[in-house]
Amino acid sequence: MIFLVLAGSAVAQDKSERRELIGKVGTRSALLVLHATERPDGGWRVAGEYVILATLARRFLEGERSPELGVTTLKEGTTPILFGRPGTGELRGLWRDGVFKGSRLGTGGQLREEFEFSEDFPGMEDYSARVRCEAQEGRYRARLNYRVASGKLDSFEWRAVEPGGQACTLAGLTQETMRGGLRFSAGSCRVTLRNLGDFVVLSAERCTSQCAAEAYLEPVLVDRRGNCELLRHGVR
């Protein structure tokens, strides 16, 4: 993401991370997903979103995290592109040691509510499920078919078809050790299951080799009855 003579040092400094956190905004349970890219000064550029789980309402975030202390300020909006557009609020707080907590402010700086998120998700060692479900929004559709017994993978298939008809297909995954969830992989492709209370969320990373050129895998929520719903339609 930078230039020829400085390529060695610039690439070394350009570290990116994806973090999932569970917590509350006020009294509402929420899932927070953030992508952070380290700057040369040790601070971080941060973008992502949080989802209120009871309603699946989404708020997009963009801002910065300071070096060392972890002071974080994130502009909040209703669209993925926030630059040059009015925000709906702001999250201000400290993000360090796996915890992000602080205040959600209105557009005039007034306190709306407190928030707290943690990277420590509930364990899933006892999770058992037989899931066979489909989810669709517009012309994007996904199908899940998996079995897990006491936290151990028995079988897994995830197929998704994007609006143009190109598909991703994941099968033959093996289980990895993971704290605070379950993780299955095939080569560099990884599928992660997290316990959100009333839901389990499945997300995929680095799975382009299992997808046609235009295809992609969107996160899926599975409820306690085995029904599934797309979490973030249209966002790759």
Q: Mapping DSSP to helix (H, G, I), strand (E, B) and coil, where does residue 157 land?
A: strand
**What value, to the nearest 5°, has the Cα angle with vertex 233 and ends 81 and 129?**
135
Q: Is the per-residue pLDDT at 200 higher than 90?
A: yes
Write out pLDDT tens, residues 176-199: 999 999 999 999 999 999 999 999
What percentage of the chain exceeds 70 in pLDDT?
92
Q: Is the per-residue pLDDT at 26 higher than 90?
A: yes
> Could you give the CA distance from residue 210 to residue 193 in angstroms, rounded to a whole number?
19
Query: Can you tell me the mean pLDDT for 99-106?
Result: 97
User: 228-232: long-range contacts (C-beta < 8 A, 24 or more apart)?
Assistant: 228/131, 228/133, 228/134, 228/135, 228/142, 228/144, 229/56, 229/135, 230/135, 230/136, 230/137, 230/140, 230/142, 231/51, 231/56, 231/201, 232/49, 232/51, 232/58
What the block records as the tokens of 56 is 């699946």
Q: Are 131 and 120 in contact (CB under 8 A)?
A: no
Q: Is the per-residue pLDDT at 147 higher than 60?
A: yes
